[in-house]
Chains A and B, each alone.
Chain A
Amino acid sequence: MIDGGGSTDWQEELTRAAITQNYNLVLSGGTEKLNYYASLGLQDQEGIVYNSDLKRTSARINVTQKLLEDRLRIDYNLNTTITEQSRNNNLGYTTNPTFDAYTPDGEINNPLNWNNPLLSNKYNGDFSESRRILFNVSPSFEILDGLVYKLNFGYENNSSDSDQQTIANTERNDLGSLSQGFGKYRNTLIENYLTYTFDVGEHNLSILGGHSYQKTFSRSSNWSIDEFPADTDIEPRNNPGLGGDLNLTDNRPTGSTWENELQSFFGRANWSFKDRYLFTATVRADGSSKFGENNKYGVFSSFAGSWRIIEEDFMDGSIFSDLKLRAGWGQTGNQEIPNKITKESFSVSNSSSVSYPIDQNGAYPVGSEYTRFANPDIQWEVSTQSNVGLDFGLFDGSLTGTVDYFNKVSDNILLEVVPVDPIVPAPTYWTNVPDMTITNKGFEIALDYAKRNYEGFSYAIGGNATFIDNVVEDSPFTIVTTGSASGQGLTDATINGFVSGEPIGSFYMQTFTGINSDGRSQFVDSDGDGDITENDRTVVGSALPDMTYSFYTNFSYKRLDLNINFNGVSGNEIYDHTAMGSFYKTLLSKSNNTTAIAIQYPEESIINSAAVSTRYLKDGSYLRLSNLTLGYSFDTKAMAWASNWLQELRLSFTGQNLFVITDYDGYDPEVNQDSSTNGIQSFGIDKFAYPKAKTFVFGVNVSF
């Protein structure tokens, strides 16, 4: 153990109380024929970790113009956002706390063989800027009474660039490097549809037919250069030409471009009778260029009806102020697969993957190979959802609520799988897995109670809860990994995935039972074969909560108001990858910092491995006070000096994330890092999360 003689709280050195400034200016107004709304927003947010800042500028204009005796209406929206960002998640989890952060004369302390994380902050940088422009024009023209033609044209254009650099220096012996990425994204949408609305007696009908076309384009590229002059003040990104080493082995540029088209034909019919019985039917044919010749289109329909029971005569005089029953059935398609997978690919090159010195003394020849299967039969994954719901209001609307039951079954699941016969050009291909289904069913309940204006005092209380039961069935695979570990000695170890009979995001690992007499981890031999192998892995928990809930209360007394919001989940687990990767006893023996869990077992050997197991699986339930706002709205009419130009003046104070009640001992139980495999979303893995800040907001709202 190395004792540097100091005492440093690295989290203290690497984080700060950060200040965010947020300004919004809104102009709006209009005449009978022309309305406009324009806004400008400026956000300057410091990250609580140094070098993780965000600046966002956004501007927006919405205009509505009515023409030709109001038969033509044109909506016009223009929206731009520019985001500048620097990223850093260096929290020095494992930095030895006995080293001083700074030398007595204020320099960054840098003793031999030891990397001060402050030096990494000083020399490494990760910056990006993205620019997004989006506009939308949608004219609608009433051709005849009740017959409206509408065109919607939308265009989005994003571009982004990023710089990752290390400034060359002799302090840390960095040679310096720069890697720059460029991205471009365009999305064009054209929708045309006709709607005809008419009444027949007390029947109200509406029929819609249309077409939509969407084209997306994306291009990304990256290049790099190494070895910059050391100890200059010039950042590599400001002059890449100062770099001294660029070769195709270390710096081969990368890039990819894809284009995608979606086309749909759709129709919808609405019928309502006396505003009491409502029925909607839709049918749409969705086509995607991602699918093969044989199955470009999927036809999806849906039906929904509702009955406003409260309108019935027999409800007169009941305690209900509202009562409505809803039911629906519908199908939707999923096309989330990579591009090009229906196309066979044959490549010809003299790269190392296909070339070989056939002539031992000659030039390397070109080699040819098939690199991808054609799968022209791949088709839309289909989700079929049924739902039944009830909306109700009681006591003159003081108590309102909804109850919903839903059941969604997805089949034709799109997955990348291994072929039956392994003697084929590519080791995997994308297909619809036959018979496999993923079912998501459950209840949603919401209740709100409000009491208004009781001698200047109003209050409301309410909440909602969702109970979900998710299950994967008839998967032919032992496990389809969706989340895996990374890091030294842990590469690709499965953490969670799809297992038949279990929810998606099920944790699949060995069960840890303690430390044995050799000081090594001990696991359950669940298959009883006498050996501890990966066959002893079982489903040990789920990343999906059984219940997600939130509740709120608000009070107002005259011009003072108070809002309090809570949210939480229960019944899920979190895999603490951060602890597995950073807080084990070996690191302590190598003079790194850990947390107390590293010495939880005094008998543990310092060479015991931190493998994926239930040792790092933790209860993920929590309850958070997500938002508390206290506000005061001034009576501008009573303020003689301002009453004729000031419409609204409000001061507010908001606290966000004020407390969390949880047994989870990582940074935060709301985890959001992606550890996905093959592009399938991962769930519930906490891997070096950016810490969630506690935020206090002071706000002034002024309207003129």
Chain B
Amino acid sequence: MKSKIKLALLFSGMLLSWNCTDLEENVLDESLNPSTEGIDEAVAALAPVYANANNNIWRHTKYFAMQEISTDEAILPYRGGTDWGDGGKFSDLYLHAMTPGNAIMKDVWEGTTKHIARAVSAINALTPLTETNPQAVVYLAEARAMRALYNHILLDAFGLVFVKDNIDDQSVILRGSEAVDYLISELLAVEPDLSTTTAVGPGRMTKTGVWALLARLHLNAPVYRDPYGTPDFSNADMDAVIQYTNQVINSGEHALSAEYFEIFDDENHTNTELIFAIDQREDLDGHNRMAYFSMSGDFYPLPEFPSANGTDAAAITSDFYQTWVDAYGDVDPADADPRFHKDNLINEPGCVSAEDFEIDRGIYRGFLYGLQHDQGGDPFERCEGDKYVVDLVTNRRSEVGDPVFHSLEVDFTANSSHSSGYRVEKYEFSKTSDSGRNKGQADLVVLRFADMYLMRAEAMLRKGDAGAALTDVNFVRASRTARHTAPALDAMDLDILYRERGFEFYWEFQRRTDMIRFGKFEDSYTEKTNSDPQKRVFPIPQSAVDGASILDGYLVQNPGY
């Protein structure tokens, strides 16, 4: 009987535990609305506008690929049939056969739209703070300027901008002249409220940053207004380029770097040639991708880290190399122009201490001297105590056992092995990285001072003043005085200026825009024969078009895709 009573109690207990629930979801592993007490709300709103743009946009496989692998400056074959195939996304881009499903389109689109959304959220958060917090006025101007900068990337790549002032509204899409006018008016509106680069550094949008961006926008405005036609470089736009470049040049805030490669050093943040750059920090996911990705997979930049090798990605085309040969004839470009190459490491078998070990910069050709080891992960061979053996690097990828040899020819068939093609090591591989490939802190250059002279030169040339253009170009060439100096040019025309932009800005996210503006984008070069002008504007990613398809006519695919 006792047991029956216990049972009855147990059941009535269960009966009472009829949990009639309101089904409210109980979130246990994240704080949905964390307290903002004690934090500077204005800074907290602005920081994400810039944060992680090095990974979200200016990444080797994203905006770099879009702006450089679509041109004659960079080609990325399916290396040895084992690396960098990636479903053909790089080769399609190079051949101008990109499609709406190409992952590079999606990556750049998502990265850029994400940062525009962050800028709009920041604008919404900062606006009410401006009444009491003078710093919020500056930050609000920066958020708007950055929204214009990101929208400029969209306009240049996809031919449209998203206009949105409140994150809960639906964006208005503008194209062509309307888009250009919107960006210009935004930049002009915020310029008075911005700081100077001298005060806040090149990692933030400043007055000279906005002027430089206005100059770039006006220089390309004729293309944006009529993307598929022949651009009309009207005097009004060119006068604006001259005005804004003059404002930057006369600001006294910037100077040309005597050593060209110092612009791309790990410690380039204080180099006054930088006008606007993404400020990478090693403990904020800064990375060395721009330094290592083109490098041979058998080449190691740091003696301490047997895992920090290259990845055998893009190489320059033989066509781009030919422009250096055309310019300097019998003189080796490495001897003629300090921007082509800088020797740091011995080019013969030898023994080098860790502190003296510094790899070359610029364009790599032919045989490669570097650290030696038996297999990946092994410590490097030592000599004379704790020094390191430097010798020809052995190929372990394509022609296994042979020395690595970077050939001039690189294409999608016979010359697509791991070592094919000349490589670019423009950015320094961080020597303070203590974990291999990541932890880079070089600022990624977006706008720099030399471009002010070359843009002004181009505007004056397009207005008919070749003499003034020649003076500006030669001024930039003469200013690189740290080693040898490139000889002065004695004539100027659009082809020479285009070639000069290639020498000055190769692999700086500008080539595609330059090729289109100079009418070269439909040319034929290694492997690439497509001459369809509709490829000047990229396809909107299929995922975005699909997502918007429930609202008819909202997001229309660009012609030709």
Contacts and interface: CB of A to CB of B under 8 A. Distances in A.
Nearest to A476: B549
A579 to B, nearest CB: 15
A611 interface: yes
Interface stretch (B28-36, B257-265, B380-388): B28-36
Contact of A490 (B50, B86, B101, B203): B86
Nearest to B28: A257
A355 B44 CA distance: 8
Interface string B1-42: 000100100010011011111011111111111111001110
A584 B81 CA distance: 9
Interface string B73-88: 0000010111111111
Interface in A347-374: 347-348, 352-358, 360, 364-370
A352 B44 CA distance: 13
Interface residues of A, number: 98
Contact of B87 (A356, A423, A493, A608): A493
A340 B25 CA distance: 7
A130 to B, nearest CB: 22
Interface string A235-273: 000000000000001100001111111010000000000
A211 interface: yes
A139 B51 contact: no
A19 interface: no
A529 B47 CA distance: 45
Contact of B32 (A113, A261, A344, A585): A344
B378 interface: yes
A343 B27 contact: yes
B116 interface: yes
Interface in B448-499: none
A360 B47 contact: no
Nearest to B415: A607
A71 to B, nearest CB: 12
Contacts of A365: 39-40, 43-44, 47
Contacts of B80: 586, 607
Interface stretch (B107-115, B232-240, B294-302, B327-335): B107-115
Given A348-B36, A423-B116, A489-B78, A360 B201 contact: yes
A610 B85 CA distance: 9
B118 interface: yes
B14 A250 contact: no
B46 interface: yes
A489 B84 CA distance: 5
A609 to B, nearest CB: 5
Contacts of A173: 375, 377-378
Contacts of A457: none
A190 B375 CA distance: 61
B281 A425 contact: no
Contact of A261 (B21, B34, B114): B21
A520 interface: yes
A356 B47 contact: yes
Contact of A340 (B11, B27, B39): B27
B546 A67 contact: no
Contacts of A491: 86-87
Contacts of B4: 67-68
A531 interface: yes
Contacts of A422: 109-110, 113, 117, 162, 171, 544, 547
A346 interface: yes
A318 B308 CA distance: 84
Given A586-B81, A607-B416, A346 B97 contact: no
Interface string B541-557: 01110111111001100
Given A353-B52, A355-B284, A534-B88, A420 B23 contact: no
A249 B28 contact: no
B145 interface: no
A609 B52 contact: no
B19 A113 contact: no
Contacts of A368: 36, 39, 41, 44-45, 48, 125
Interface stretch (A46-54, A77-85, A283-291): A283-291
Interface in B82-140: 82-88, 92, 95, 97-103, 109-110, 113-114, 116-118, 120-121, 125
A259 B26 contact: yes
Q: Which of A211, A290, A424 has the most chain B CB atoms inside 10 A of its CB?
A: A424
Contacts of B39: 348, 365-366, 368
B203 A423 contact: no
B7 A74 contact: yes
B15 A192 contact: yes
Contacts of A596: none
A612 interface: yes
A213 B19 contact: yes
Nearest to A422: B113
B204 interface: yes
Interface string B436-447: 001000000000
Contacts of B118: 369
A535 B99 contact: yes
A647 interface: no
Contact of B550 (A370, A427, A476): A476
Contacts of A605: 81, 413
A112 B52 contact: no
Given A261-B21, A365-B44, A610-B81, A533 B97 contact: yes
B374 interface: yes
B22 to A, nearest CB: 8
Interface string A490-512: 11110000000000000000000
A93 interface: no
Interface in B234-259: none
A518 B116 contact: no
B180 to A, nearest CB: 19
Interface in B412-435: 413, 416-417, 435
A369 B544 contact: no
B279 interface: yes
Contacts of B546: 417-418, 476-478
Given A534-B101, A535-B101, A605-B413, A367 B51 contact: yes
Interface in A64-115: 67-68, 74, 112-113
Nearest to B114: A427
Nearest to B25: A289
A300 to B, nearest CB: 16
Given A213-B18, A478-B546, A520-B413, A356 B86 contact: no
Contacts of A424: 117, 167
Given A258-B28, A348-B34, A367-B48, A420 B88 contact: no
Contacts of A612: 87
Nearest to B413: A518
A344 B121 CA distance: 14
A606 interface: yes
Interface in B350-388: 374-375, 377-378
Contact of A360 (B109, B269, B543): B269
B25 A611 contact: no
B99 A366 contact: no
Contacts of B375: 112-113, 173
9 contacts: A113-B375, A213-B18, A354-B47, A356-B284, A419-B547, A491-B87, A533-B99, A585-B81, A605-B413
Given A249-B435, A534-B88, A612-B87, 14 more contacts: A67-B4, A249-B438, A347-B34, A354-B51, A366-B47, A368-B39, A419-B547, A420-B551, A422-B110, A425-B117, A427-B114, A488-B82, A488-B85, A489-B84
Interface of B: 4, 7, 11, 14-15, 17-21, 23-36, 39-41, 43-52, 78, 80-88, 92, 95, 97-103, 109-110, 113-114, 116-118, 120-121, 125, 162, 164, 167, 170-171, 200-201, 203-204, 269, 279, 281, 283-285, 374-375, 377-378, 396, 400, 413, 416-417, 435, 438, 530, 542-544, 546-551, 554-555
Q: Please provide the 3 A-B residue pairs with the shortest distance between their CB atoms, ordered closest to farther.
A: A418-B547, A489-B85, A352-B285
